[in-house]
């Protein structure tokens, strides 16, 4: 249930922030933190860590695109969000220690 709540908060927050003031900064952060985190929680509950990693990578790419399309001066924060999504996704794709 926590995963669904985080996913809902992330998606609604990203849409609300992007629609209200057309600022991709807050929308992209909400998308990565809450949306990606919620999907990761749901995937881990069903023992699908590889899927969670892929979804986190895709949400990082989407958030970076949201951030960069508004203003070209946001290149550095977009790269940071992209690397955060890639790093978190790659970590979830690593084999579990036995």
Measured distance between the N- and C-terminal CA atoms of the chain, rounded to whole angstroms: 28
Reported confidence tier of residue 22, pLDDT bands at 50, 70, 90: low
Q: What is the mean pLDDT of the chain?
A: 79
Q: Measure the CA–CA gap between 38 and 97, rounded to whole angstroms.
A: 23
Given this model, what pLDDT does residue 72 score? Answer: 76
- pTM of structure: 0.65
Q: Measure the CA–CA gap between 56 and 59, rounded to whole angstroms.
A: 5
Q: Measure the CA–CA gap between 78 and 88, rounded to whole angstroms.
A: 15
Q: Is 95 a residue whose pLDDT tops 80?
A: no
Domain spans, the chain: 2-93
Q: Measure the CA–CA gap between 23 and 25, rounded to whole angstroms.
A: 6
Q: What mean pLDDT comes out for the span 24-29?
A: 73
């Amino acid at each position: 249930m926590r995963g669904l709540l985080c996913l809902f908060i992330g998606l609604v927050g990203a849409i609300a922030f992007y629609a209200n003031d057309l600022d991709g900064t807050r929308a992209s952060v909400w998308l990565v933190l809450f949306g990606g985190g919620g999907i990761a929680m749901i995937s881990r509950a069903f023992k699908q860590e590889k899927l969670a990693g892929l979804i986190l990578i895709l949400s990082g790419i989407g958030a970076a695109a949201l951030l960069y399309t508004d203003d070209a001066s946001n290149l550095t924060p977009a790269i940071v969000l992209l690397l955060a999504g890639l790093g978190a996704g790659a970590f979830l794709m690593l084999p579990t220690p036995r």
